[in-house]
């Protein structure tokens, strides 16, 4: 992972929230919230909350007396999340690094993290921090994307970028979002951080978009891939986005489209 992989700045949070969240994140957010709710927690911490899709799912599913603390390293992403839930008194938003959480030991009954572990510079340290703030018997529930070949839309966009920039192809997708999918490695990292009772499950959903333009824009302009594209100059962000849209249309059709998305969902005590 490079420093630019964590650069959710400028208009990225808005595009991410508007296009990418409904495209690929909503079903997994609802899934994580169901798993957390089943453990009947009193206090829940969310790390790498992004624009708050899991926060909203937790708010909808958890009893009203349960307190939720939503954190993210990127203040612009957290600011976007606050727009959805600013009036909810039981939800506290706080900028925080998942590798150095500003909370006392044994403060939470559950820790949730949606598609954030892939961005941790030191995953064992991040997992150890989650364990530190959990009460005895608490649960850490998180998910990571499976290999890019199992995720149709980003795979097509990735392959298109390899063709557009053959001399220096952008590798953000395979390096970070889809770069941490080996279940053996994930389990070993969790064990090294002190977790036991680890369960890893493959969960598949369908991703749907109104047109090929939406996922092209979402992945090219609503993720840190945008920085890699812009850094390469010609043919420019708009042209590259259109090339991705054209490739998606050739693969899935020109109207409403759908494709597979697949992730690993992990629970550790």
Q: Would you list the domain boundaries of the chain? A: 3-268
pLDDT for the residue numbered 4 = 57
- As a whole number of angstroms, the distance between CA 52 and CA 84 comes to 8
Give mean pLDDT, residues 81-98.
Answer: 92
With a cut of 90, say whether residue 263 has pLDDT above it: yes
pLDDT for the residue numbered 6 = 54
pLDDT for the residue numbered 5 = 47
Q: Which CATH architecture has domain 3-268?
A: 3-Layer(aba) Sandwich (3.40)
- As a whole number of angstroms, the distance between CA 221 and CA 19 comes to 10
Model pTM score: 0.94
DSSP string, 65-101: T-EEEEEES-HHHHHHHHHHHTT-TTEEEEE--TTS-
Give the sheet arrangement for strand 43-47, strand by strand. 91-95, 67-72, 43-47, 108-114, 134-145, 257-268, 199-209
Give mean pLDDT, residues 54-83.
Answer: 96
CA-atom Rg of the chain in angstroms: 18
Q: 28 and 114 in contact (C-beta within 8 Å)? A: yes
Q: Residues 133-191: pLDDT tens digits?
A: 999 999 999 999 999 999 999 999 999 999 999 999 999 999 999 999 999 999 999 99
Neighbours of 22 (CB within 10 A): 17
Of all residues in the chain, the percent with pLDDT exceeding 90 is: 93
Closest to 141 measured CA to CA, from 19, 38, 27: 38
Q: 209 and 154 in contact (C-beta within 8 Å)? A: no
pLDDT for the residue numbered 229 = 96
Q: For residue 207, what are the β-bridge partners?
A: 259
């Amino acid at each position: 992972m490079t420093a630019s992989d964590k650069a959710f700045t400028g208009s990225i949070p808005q595009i991410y929230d508007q296009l990418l969240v409904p495209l690929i994140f909503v079903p997994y957010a609802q899934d994580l919230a169901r798993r957390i709710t089943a453990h009947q927690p009193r206090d829940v911490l969310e790390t790498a909350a992004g624009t708050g899709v899991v926060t909203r799912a937790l708010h909808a599913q958890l009893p009203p007396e349960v307190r939720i603390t939503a954190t993210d390293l990127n203040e612009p992403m957290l600011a976007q999340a606050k727009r959805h839930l600013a009036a909810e008194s039981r939800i506290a938003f706080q900028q925080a690094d998942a590798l150095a959480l500003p909370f006392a030991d044994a403060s939470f009954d559950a820790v949730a993290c949606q598609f954030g572990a892939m961005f941790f510079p030191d995953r064992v340290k991040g997992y150890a921090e989650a364990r530190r703030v959990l009460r005895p018997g608490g649960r850490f529930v998180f998910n990571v994307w499976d290999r890019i070949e199992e995720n149709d839309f980003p795979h097509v966009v990735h392959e298109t970028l390899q063709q557009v920039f053959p001399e220096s192809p952008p590798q953000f997708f395979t390096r970070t979002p889809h770069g941490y999918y080996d279940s053996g490695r994930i389990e070993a990292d969790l064990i090294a951080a002190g977790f036991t009772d680890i369960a890893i499950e493959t969960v598949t959903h369908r991703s749907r978009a109104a047109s090929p333009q939406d996922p092209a824009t979402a992945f090219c302009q609503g993720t840190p891939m945008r920085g890699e594209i812009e850094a390469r100059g010609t043919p420019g962000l708009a042209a590259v986005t259109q090339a991705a849209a054209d490739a998606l249309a050739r693969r899935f059709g020109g109207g409403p489209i759908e494709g597979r998305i697949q992730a690993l969902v992990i629970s550790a005590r």
